[in-house]
Amino acid sequence: MKLSELDYDLPPELIAQQPLERRDEARMEVLDRARGTIEHSRFYKLGRYLRAGDVLVLNDTRVFPARVIAHKESGAKVELLFVAPSDNPPGAWIAMIRAHRQCAPGARLLLDGAPALRVVGYQRPGRVIVVPEGAQPVIKTLWKAGLLALPHYIKRAVTAADAENYQTVYAAHTGAIAAPTAGLHFTPQLLRQLEEQGVRTVYVTLHIGPGTFAPVRSHEVEAHTMEGEWYTMAPAVAETIAHARRIGARVVAVGTSSVRALESYAVTGDLEGLTGLFIYPGFRFKLVEGMITNFHMPRTTVLAMVMAFAGRELTLAAYRDAIRHRYRFLSYGDAMLIL
> So what's the pLDDT on residue 232?
98
Distance, in Å, from the CA atom of 42 to the CA atom of 165, rounded to the nearest integer, reads 19
Banded model confidence at residue 326, pLDDT cuts 50, 70, 90: very high
CB atoms within 10 A of CB 200: 18
Encode pLDDT of 24-59 as tens digits. Answer: 999 999 999 999 999 999 999 999 999 999 999 999
Encode pLDDT of 138-189 as tens digits. Answer: 999 999 999 999 999 999 999 999 999 999 999 999 999 999 999 999 999 9
CATH numbers and ranges of domains, the chain: 3-63+161-338 (3.40.1780.10), 67-145 (2.40.10)
Q: Is the pLDDT of residue 61 over 90?
A: yes
Q: Give first-to-last CA distance, the chain, whole Å.
A: 24
Supply the Cα-derived Rg of the chain in whole angstroms.
20
Q: Is the pLDDT of residue 85 over 90?
A: yes
> So what's the pLDDT on residue 212?
85
Banded model confidence at residue 215, pLDDT cuts 50, 70, 90: confident
Q: Is the pLDDT of residue 306 over 90?
A: yes
* Three-state DSSP state, 242: helix
Which residues have C-beta within 8 Å of that of residue 59, sequence separation ≥ 6?
168, 180, 183, 203, 204, 205, 206, 208, 254, 255, 257, 258, 261
Distance, in Å, from the CA atom of 31 to the CA atom of 189, rounded to the nearest integer, reads 24
Q: Which residue has the higher pLDDT, 212 or 300?
A: 300
Q: Is the pLDDT of residue 214 over 90?
A: no
Angle at the Cα of 230 from the Cα atoms of 284 and 156, rounded to 5 degrees: 100
Q: Is the pLDDT of residue 193 over 90?
A: yes
Q: Which residue has the higher pLDDT, 87 or 312?
A: 312
Mean pLDDT of the chain: 96
Q: Which residue has the higher pLDDT, 100 or 249?
A: 249
Distance, in Å, from the CA atom of 166 to the CA atom of 333, rounded to the nearest integer, reads 12
CB atoms within 10 A of CB 330: 19
Q: Is the pLDDT of residue 336 over 90?
A: yes
> So what's the pLDDT on residue 213?
79
